[in-house]
Every structure is written in C-alpha cells, then in structure tokens.
Structure 1
Amino acid sequence: MTLEELVACDNAPPADPSPPSGPLRDPDSVVLCLLAIDEEEEDDIALQIHFTLIQSFCCDNDINIVRVSGMQRLAQLLGEPAETQGTTEARDLHCLLVTNPHTDAWKSHGLVEVASYCEESRGNNQWVPYISLQER
C-alpha cells in the first residue's frame, strides 16, 4: 500500500470544523506525522522553526515523521475542495497527525508499512524520510 492509498483510505471528511478533542489530543494515539511543504516554501523560516519543534516533539514521543512535497496532490488525496477564484480558503496542510486507536484490532496494514519504511530510513541515517507526491 502506498502513502497515497493510505491517506485516501483513512480519509474521512470532518463533520465539525472545531478543534479536535478527546483521543486526538493524546500523543499516545498519534502514530505518524506528515510534514508537508513545497519547494517555494523551503525558505520560510517560521515554517522551518515550526517543523523543527514538531520533529523534536515527535522524536520525544516515538512518533514516526515523514516529510512530503506536493501540497496540491496531498490536498486532492484528502478531498480538499479546489480553490475557485479565491472564494475558498484552503486549510493548512503543512502538518498532519495520523492517529490510530490503542487496540490491536484496529491496526492498519498501511500504517505498519509506513512505520517499517520510517524505521528502515532511520537505519540508513535518514532520520526524516522524504516522499514526493506527483501530480496525476
């Protein structure tokens, strides 16, 4: 299963745009952090500081991290509406936290594969693996 398939199959449109509550605020339920950025944003110092702090938190809490480029493709995978002449404000997709319930019965095969990829990358001294999402 690819990262694109994982994101697409685990995606559900939010019913409520208010901030998450309950288990989503529990770092123990977070199993993956996607840090998404496009090439033109690489020089944004504030965003880089933000990413550094998030990476530190994730490392301290044993949360896998993946850097992703291709924000437009990521938005498509997440079912974001296309911007129409500036009337639709896009959500900030720079940091996505993927959660998983604490029960073994809910383990996702895709998440296991991503975790294995992250572990393999760390073994090759690539502490934060990088994936480029291509337009289709």
Structure 2
Amino acid sequence: MTLEEVLSQKSQKSTGTALEDVLVSAKENDSLTVGVYECAKVMNLDPDSVAFCVLATDEEFERDIALQIHFTLIQSFCFDNDISIVRVSDTQRLAEIVAGESPQLEDAHCVLVTNPADGSWEDPALEKLHLFCQESRHLNDWVPEISLPGR
C-alpha cells in the first residue's frame, strides 16, 4: 500500500466520522429532513434553509428508475443552489444514524441538514464536510462518496 493510499483511507475515515457527527448533531437540533419526498418539499419551499445533502445508494437504487430520476433532480438542485452534497453506499447505516433507536425509516435515501430558523447552530464538522466537497469539486468529483464508520 502506498503512502497516498494510506492518507486517502485516513481522510475517508475522518470524513465519514465528520458526516456521522453532523447527522447526530443535526438530529439533536431538529435540523434533519429524511426521505426523498420530504427533502424535495423542503428544497421547494425553503431552499435557503438547506445546508447539506446526503444521498444513499443500495441495491434498491440500482433497480429503481424513479429513485434515480429523483437523485438526478436533487443533485441538479444542489448544484444550482450551491449546496454541498455527498453520496454514501450504506443506506441501512445511514438510517441507523438518523433514526437512532427506531430505525423504522423506509426511505433514508436522501437526508438534508437544514439551518435552524434562529441560525444558532454551527458545527465544525459541517465546515469540514463543506471543505471536503469543495476540494472534491476542484478534482471534478461533483458528488463524492463517503464511507460511514461502522458501529
């Protein structure tokens, strides 16, 4: 394994931990929207409130053309509105993080982190994710993939 590969792995792990921290913090601050349709509603009604977007893929995504179309529209919206966006490949793990004790969520394919109305919530991990997305865009990776840490 080369030094570049080791550093890349370490960066991925760190970014995955930052994403988990942001999701947990957003949940505690009631700044989380979960579900493709729910996220689309928020984006339509109050696009300025959206701070970050997470799209999760799994086997269902590969077979579901409607979900793929929704992802394309959400990505386009994020690009047009300068919203940082990442992809994760473990929908179940994402659901565990955002649902907590009751991972009964049927649709954790899209998760939005929103800014609270009073603007009081700031998170250094969110800033780290924004920087990661910005660096990825400079490398023409417009929707970078992040691995969520295991339990």
Q: TM-score range by the shorter chain?
A: 0.7 to 0.9
TM-score w.r.t. the length of structure 1 is 0.76
Whether 1:10 aligns to 2:21 is no
Q: Do the aligned residues in 1 keep the contact of 2:87 with 2:144 (CA within 8 Å)?
A: yes
Aligned residue among 52, 64, 71 for 1:32: 52
Q: Do the aligned residues in 2 keep the contact of 1:36 with 1:93 (CA within 8 Å)?
A: yes
Aligned residue among 81, 103, 106 for 2:102: 81
Distance in 1 separating the partners of 2:72 and 2:92: 23
Q: Which residue of 2 is the match for residue 99 of structure 1?
A: 114
The alpha-carbon distance between structure 1 residues 45 and 57, as it changes in their structure 2 partners (threshold 3 A), is same
TM-score w.r.t. the length of structure 2 is 0.69
Deviation at 1:127, TM superposition (A): 0.6
Q: Percent identity?
A: 53
Whether 1:120 aligns to 2:141 is no
Distance in 1 separating the partners of 2:117 and 2:138: 26
Deviation at 1:51, TM superposition (A): 0.3
The alpha-carbon distance between structure 1 residues 107 and 68, as it changes in their structure 2 partners (threshold 3 A), is same
Deviation at 1:12, TM superposition (A): 3.3
The C-alpha deviation readout for 1:88-136, integer Å capped at 9, x for no partner, is x533111111112477753321111110000000011101111122533
Aligned residue among 35, 57, 71 for 2:91: 71
How many correspondences in the alignment? 126
Distance in 2 separating the partners of 1:134 and 1:42: 23
Q: Do the aligned residues in 1 keep the contact of 2:57 with 2:91 (CA within 8 Å)?
A: yes
Q: How does 1:26-65 map to 2 (within 5 A)?
A: 26-65=46-85
The alpha-carbon distance between structure 1 residues 26 and 80, as it changes in their structure 2 partners (threshold 3 A), is farther
Write the letter of the residue equivalent to 2:53: C
Distance in 1 separating the partners of 2:48 and 2:64: 30
The alpha-carbon distance between structure 1 residues 117 and 77, as it changes in their structure 2 partners (threshold 3 A), is same
Write the letter of the residue equivalent to 2:123: S
Deviation at 1:61, TM superposition (A): 0.8
Question: Match of 1:66, SS?
Answer: strand
Structure 2 unmatched ranges of 5 or more: 1-16, 31-37
Structure 1 unmatched ranges of 5 or more: 83-88
Write the letter of the residue equivalent to 1:69: S
Whether 1:130 aligns to 2:145 is yes
